Amino acid sequence: MKSKTIWVTWEYQVRNRNMSKELGVTLYEINYDKHNRLLRYFFCIGQTIKILLQVKPTIVIHQSPSIVLAFLLSLLKDIFKYRVIIDTHNAGVKPAEGASKVLNWLARFSLKRADLIILHNEMIAAQLPKAISVEKFILADPLPSVLKEQRLEPNKEDVFTVVFVCRWASDEPYQEVIHAAQILESKKANVKIICTGRYPKHIKKEKLPKNIELSGFVSAEDYDLILKKAHCVLALTTRQDSLNCAAYEGMAYEKPTILSKTALLERFFSKGFTHTCNNSDSISNKIITVMKDYESLKHDIVMCKTSYSIEHGVKVKELSGKLKNQF
């Protein structure tokens, strides 16, 4: 029987879009914009079943989280006669950091019922319970696409611009970045730090150092321009098992990138990248180091992008072969 593969998601997410495009798989994005969570689940479940009835796929790929979508597709696989591939993130292996017994049971049930599990890195794979004997495939994020019409050059002004890619989440040491900006200001370093993302109410613009700029939530086009005009990308996390999406953005935009000093990030991102402890002194010192070694790091990140793209393409081709042969 000829393979008919689809990718289903209940949210807009870059990896879903990029991976489905690379694999040549039709992506079905189901999104309910209203805030009522119960109604959202009813709507998304109904639309998912409708797609399964209409398309009659042989393979369904989805990302976990959503834990509910993963559970639904694992329940329906025998009824609709398809195989399930879960592209799982950290929270798909250990939802709510293991605090929720219900979510963790749902996640484990879904993973056990999968026919293939795609994981971002070996560290996440190692966290899978031994009872889950499903075939695993390691595939890191594809590089995000960059508009080709504009050159990937920073702004011409003298100030060295660092983009701190931030969701203002609990694992991102943004207070340390603010303190680092204060240190740089006291040293009269010619640096500006642009913090992206919708910042929380307790962050007051007027109380921040003058060398910090808050972009707030911006459109994809404006975010693209912010990265293009920057000299350097900064992306930090306190998680030991996380591969920052912003690291791939730094590589795609050919910007020297500062990441947190974790074993995983140091192993995965080396040339063109530098790593810092999550404290203000270390962060400020690394920014100064990137300023001094900018041309060398810039050359390295371009080389890194080229080699990564080749290696990733080989892995995608391997996965495409599995889909065509139904594993």
The 3-state secondary structure of 258-316, one letter per residue: EEECCHHHHHHCCCCEEEECCCHHHHHHHHHHHHHCHHHHHHHHHHHHHHHHHHHHHHH
Residues in the chain: 327
Q: What's the pLDDT tens digit per position in 154-205?
A: 766 679 999 999 999 999 999 999 999 999 999 999 999 999 999 999 999 8
Q: What's the pLDDT tens digit per position in 204-246?
A: 988 999 999 999 999 988 999 999 999 999 999 998 888 888 9
- Give the phi and the psi of residue 197 in degrees, each rounded to 5: 90, 160
- pLDDT the model gives residue 14: 83
Could you tell me how far CA 243 lies from the centroid of its own chain?
Answer: 7
Under 8 Å between Cβ of 196 and 213: no
Q: What is the CA radius of gyration of the chain?
A: 21
Domains in the chain (CATH in brackets) are 5-139 (3.40.50.2000), 160-307 (3.40.50.2000)
Q: Examine residue 95 and say whether the peptide bond preceding it is cis (omega within 30 degrees of 0).
A: no
Q: What's the pLDDT tens digit per position in 87-116?
A: 998 778 877 666 678 988 999 999 999 999
- pLDDT the model gives residue 149: 56
Mean pLDDT of the chain: 91
Nearest to 255 by CA among 276, 283, 224: 224
Residue 207: Cβ within 10 Å count: 7
